[in-house]
Every structure is written in structure tokens, then in C-alpha cells.
Structure 1
Amino acid sequence: MDSNEFFAPARTPSDDTAAPADDAALVSSSDAVDGEVNSAGSVAKPLKAERTPVWIDLLNPSDDEIHEIEKRFDIEVPTREEMQEIELSSRLYDEDGALFMTVSVLNKANSDEPETTAITFILVKKTLITLRYADPVPFKTFIRRVNRSPSLASSAEAVLFGLLEQIVDRLADIMEQAAADLEGLSNIVFANPDDPAHDQDHRAVLRRIGRAGNLSGKAKDSLLNLHRLGLFLSTQTRLKKDAKTRLKTISRDIVSITEHANFIANKVTFLLDATLGMINLEQNNIIKIFSVAAAAFLPPTLIASIYGMNFEVMPELDWQFGYPLAIGLMVLSAVLPLWYFKRKGWL
């Protein structure tokens, strides 16, 4: 397991045996099996066997640590390969009262290679176990929030919904950033060609559009997983009324962000088509220039070819004004087509 450390919330002040919030412990992820957040909200290494952990966060766990969790809670933790399966029955299921929920969470959204990583939430009795092989931003942010406000981790359900809300908030921020980036791209694509900021080859624009499309696609995949998880949790009778109310709020946010993600996906398609159309127009303009040049210089070439023939009987060859006449004809035959094309608006 990676040696990352995280802050665990202290006991709530209402607990008679509560420790002060300043005594919140720093628990390394290598001690995540032993480090516990008790049901009252405090985190420390277990001092008493009867203390119930609220949240156990497994980041890159070893086989021995997974085995210890399985033995301690009498469950079978899914393997990393099983977490990657796309079947709904393999991602969301109830096994002897323990809820197993695997979702794809967007990770490295600000990098050039965003990815989705599978994270498993296991809700067993009064404990939430999170199994992950990446450290996305929502987990880091939620851990910092819990350290400042220990009441956010008053129960396993509170931690679960807090993490889900943080993931949804992160996706909303990513969609807002993607929308702003696409707005800037739209101004570039439809900018005046005479504008110095206009990108003539559009390669950078295409790369940015492709990145926005890739990001929105992965965000939609994550939102779809969260929506399925919400539907699964809504059928659980163990959740209290306030928990279900909180779940409904999360579900509404997911639907709203999904609609925004669909809008972004449509705009990505529109900008991609528009950019490719601009490229085609520029290519057509280049071909048109070559076509006009060929048409303009064809008559002068014809005249030059005629007087370049080696016939003995060509009166103009002995004429004093033959050469100036040939030059004049070639210039005139080149200017007349250009004047005609200009009049027709083809230039």
C-alpha cells in the first residue's frame, strides 16, 4: 500500500468520552486496516476491540491487508479485475447484508490523459470500506474537509454520501471548465481570417476539441455509474429518511450535470464539424488559386508554344514588331481571364 497519509475526524463533542478535535490522528494508508473512524466520529488506532470503525480507506492495498479485511468483516473483497467488469450485477450487489458498489470515477482531469478509475464502496454493518487503486481529487478534498469538520464522518452512511457529493461536485467543476474552454474554441474557429489570433492550420484547435470530447465522454461514463449507484441505494431499506433525502439531492445533481455533459458533447461535435469545414474551405481556396493561375497562364503558354515551333514559313519571325506583338498577346491573354474571374467574384 502507498504510504499516503490522511486525516481522520475526531469524536463529536456530544460524546461523553470524546477526545478534542485537535487530537485528530494522522493515519497512513499503510495502516488503513488498523486506523479506524469510530461511530462517534473519532479516528485513531483501535484501543478497544468493541470499537466500530466508520471508514476504512484502502489505497493500493496488499494481499495481506485485503485478507485481514475479509477476515475481520467476514466478506469477500472484489479483486482489481472484478472491479473493472461492466456487468451491473458485478458492480452493484448485496451479499449477506453487505452492499458492494463499484463506480468509475474521473481521474487526472487536468492532465492531457484523463482516465476513469474503478472505486469500490463496501457498506458492511456500520462501516464503510473504500477500495481504490488511484487517488482522485474528490477523496483528497473530502479528507481535508473531514479533518476540518469531524461531524461529516459521524456515520458510515454520512461518509458514503459525503464522498458521492464530492465526486459529483468535482464532475460539475470539470464540466464548467470544459464549457468555458469550448466557448474560447468557438471564438477561435469562427474568428475573422484576417485576425492575427486566427489559427490557420487548426491543429491546436483540433487537439483541444479532441481533449474536450474525451473528457466529456469519460465524465458521462462516471455520471452513468453514479446514477446506477443512486438507483441501487434507493432500493435499500436500511437507509434512513434523511439519508434518502440526501440521496435524492445527489441524484438530481447527477441528472443536471448529465444534461450539461450532453450539451458539451453536442457542442464538441458541432465545433469538430465546423473546424473540419473551415479546413475544407481553406483547402478549396488554395485549389482555386492554383486553378485560376493555370487558367490565366494557359493562353500565354499556348502563344509561346506556337512561336516556339521550328517551321520555316512563319512570317512573324522576320517581322520587326513580331517579338513585341507576341509579348503583348501573352500579357493580354493572361490579364483578360483574371479580369473575367474578378468580375464574376471568383477571386
Structure 2
Amino acid sequence: MDTRDNGTVIIDCAIYRNGKREDTSHDAVSLENALTSLTDKNDFIWIGAFEPTAAEMAEITAPLKLHPLAVEDAVNAHQRPKVERYRDHLFMSVKTVTYANDDIQTAEINAFLGSNYLLTVRHGKGHDLRAVRQRVETQDRELEHGPTAALYAVVDSVVDDYAHVAAELEIDVQEVESSVFSGSRTSDSSRIYRLKREALEFRRAVMPLREPVSRFAVGEMPEAARPYFRDIGDHLSRVAESIDATDHLLDNALHAHMAQLSIQQNDDMRKLAAGAALFAVPTAIAGIYGMNFEHMPELSWTYGYPLVLGTTLLLCIYLAWRFKKSGWL
């Protein structure tokens, strides 16, 4: 769901001891007591919040002693994907992406990672972290590795969505290519432009995330977690390559569409010119015979008028045959 439960900003909150969930209250005192109770190095609390106000965020973060600049970034959405490391915690902002009907919608997840906690702050619709939490809770020993494992589950789910969106974009680009080269008259330029704009929005969500994930994979995370973030990095690289290929194909499709339009316009001009030539012959003959001279063949010859009409018709048929043979008609 994308609404608050019972009016509270905290959607879900639980302690994980040896990977097993223990529910806890959502108020600030309970959070502080829960933090105090975490004695094992891999025990942690995972707090999930949805669109908190500044006052609500201050109440949540007071027991965690988070940096005020990071808290401000978490409250104000529309952050650029980034990772910032503070003295005793890490702040990460990622964009979530959904795609339907040639339209990409982005939302935002901001995460605070400490030695014994993970706080996720979600803005916008489209990526419910409770499904991620429920999935990871059912996997044996997944959360025994502490809050880093929970952060990995969140980022991995976001990047999996990137892969799905990239696949959907590729399908739509194939549809555009089929339409452009179908041979029929189509108006694909508006859709091509729209897809290029959505690909650009997708790029803004994906590209800034590659560098921090690469850092996670080589040294900024516990050694046991690095292979998992390397896997995320590989997925991000594939998505980035897909975006580049999509953008390149859209450029080619747009150029091909403009060339098709030019060819169609040339065909139209040739048909118009051929039609004008067909009408020029009878118009010229009718103009000559309409000048009322005395010595016209049909004035004194019975078959003169039918001969002129037949000659005109034969000339028009001959011109039409020649234009058809040359591809002008």
C-alpha cells in the first residue's frame, strides 16, 4: 500500500535478531529502547517510513542521531540518486521507476544505514517496500547478516524493476521500428520523441547509481556483502547498456521516419506531376480547337470530331502507361 496505516508515518518497524523478526512499537521512546536492546553485532532494527513531514522525521531520527543535512534530504524528495557517508552512518537515495503506456513514473527511496539500524523513507507510489521486507523475511538466514543485507534487498528490488522497465522500453521501440518500416503512412515522430524523453528520465534514475554501487562492491561494505553489490552493479551495467541501445535505436528510427516522409512526399509530387501531364494533353488540344478558326478539320469532315477525341484519348492512355511503367503512378 501507498498510504499510512492508522495515520502514522511509520509503515513498518521491527527488530531482527538472528534474522528473526520481533515487532516493536513505533514511538520514539520505544525506538530508543529497541536500539539499546541490540547487543549482537548483526541484530538491527528496520524502520520503514512513508512521506514524513520535517517534524515527524525529527521524531524518528532523534534516537538514531542522524546528520541534519541527510535528514533534510530525506524529507525533501526529488533528490538525485547518490550515496553520502557520515561519521557513523550512510545515506543513500535511489529512484524507483515504473513504466506504462509510454510513460515513466519515478518515485524515491532514501535510506539511512547504521551499525544496528536501517531507516527507509519512501516518497511517491509504485514501489511498496513491505513486499520486499516480507520476501526477505521468508528467506532463511538472509537477515542474519545485519542491516547491510536489508539495504541490499531494497536496492536489489529497485534495480530488478529497472530491468523490467528496460525490457518494456525495448518492446515499444521494436513496435516503433515495425511501424516506421511498414511501408504504410504513419505518424511515428510524436511517439518516438515521447519514448526518447522517457528514456532520458530513465537514464537520470539509473546512471548516477552506478558509481556508488561500484564503491560498495569494492570496499565500502563488509566483505561478505561485496559480491551481492557486485551483482547489482552488473545488473545496472546491463540496464545502462539497454538504455544506450534504446536511445540509439530511437535516433535511427526517427531518422528513418523522416527519410520515409521525404520519400512519400517525393512520390506524391511525382503523382501530382504525372496527373498534371495527363490533363495537359486534352487541355492543349481543347484550347487549340476552342479558338474558333474557320479551317478546322471537324467543321467540314464527318469523322473529324471523333478523330480528335480518339487521338486525345490514345495520347492520355499512352502517357498513363509510360508514367505507370516508370513508377510515377
Instruction: Tell me the TM-score range normalised by the shorter chain.
Output: 0.7 to 0.9
Could you tell me which residue of structure 2 aligns to residue 3 of structure 1? 3
1:294 aligns with 2:276: yes
Q: Deviations over 1:190-222 (max 9, x none)?
A: 34x4xxxxxx3323x555544543443333322
| Whole-angstrom distance in 1 between the partners of 2:135 and 2:209 | 21
Could you tell me which residue of structure 1 aligns to residue 209 of structure 2? 226
Helix, strand or coil for the counterpart of 1:121? Answer: strand
Q: TM-score, normalised by structure 1?
A: 0.76
- Which shows bigger deviation, 179-188 or 59-68? 179-188
Helix, strand or coil for the counterpart of 1:114? Answer: strand
| Whole-angstrom distance in 1 between the partners of 2:106 and 2:12 | 29
Deviation at 1:188, TM superposition (A): 4.1
- Which shows bigger deviation, 140-149 or 168-177? 140-149
Could you tell me which residue of structure 2 aligns to residue 245 of structure 1? 227
Q: TM-score, normalised by structure 2?
A: 0.80
Number of matched pairs: 311
Query: What are the residue-to-residue correspondences of 1:174-193 with 2, within 5 Å?
Result: 174-191=165-182, 193=183
Any unmatched runs of 5+ in structure 1? Answer: 6-27, 194-199
Q: What is the CA RMSD across the aligned residues, in angstroms?
A: 3.1
Deviation at 1:157, TM superposition (A): 0.6
| Whole-angstrom distance in 2 between the partners of 1:184 and 1:312 | 65
Could you tell me which residue of structure 2 aligns to residue 341 of structure 1? 323
Whether the 8 Å CA contact 2:9–2:51 is kept in 1: the answer is: no
Any unmatched runs of 5+ in structure 2? Answer: 39-43
Whether the 8 Å CA contact 1:59–1:135 is kept in 2: the answer is: no
Give the partner amino acid of 1:94: R
Deviation at 1:224, TM superposition (A): 0.8
Choose the corresponding residue for 1:45, options 1, 16, 24. Answer: 24
Q: Deviations over 1:282-335 (max 9, x none)?
A: 3332222111111121121111122223x4535346233342233223223322
Helix, strand or coil for the counterpart of 2:8? Answer: helix
Give the partner amino acid of 2:202: A
| Whole-angstrom distance in 2 between the partners of 1:139 and 1:299 | 77
| Whole-angstrom distance in 1 between the partners of 2:316 and 2:141 | 85
Whether the 8 Å CA contact 2:48–2:119 is kept in 1: the answer is: yes
Whether the 8 Å CA contact 1:29–1:57 is kept in 2: the answer is: no
Choose the corresponding residue for 1:122, options 112, 126, 139. Answer: 112
- Which shows bigger deviation, 208-217 or 241-250? 208-217
Query: What are the residue-to-residue correspondences of 1:245-264 with 2, within 5 Å?
Result: 245-264=227-246
Choose the corresponding residue for 2:296, options 315, 319, 338. Answer: 315
Could you tell me which residue of structure 2 aligns to residue 284 of structure 1? 266
| Whole-angstrom distance in 2 between the partners of 1:34 and 1:254 | 28
Query: What are the residue-to-residue correspondences of 1:108-257 with 2, within 5 Å?
Result: 108-137=98-127, 139=129, 141-149=131-139, 151-154=141-144, 155-191=146-182, 193=183, 200-203=184-187, 205-206=188-189, 209-234=192-217, 237=220, 239-257=221-239
| Whole-angstrom distance in 2 between the partners of 1:33 and 1:338 | 77
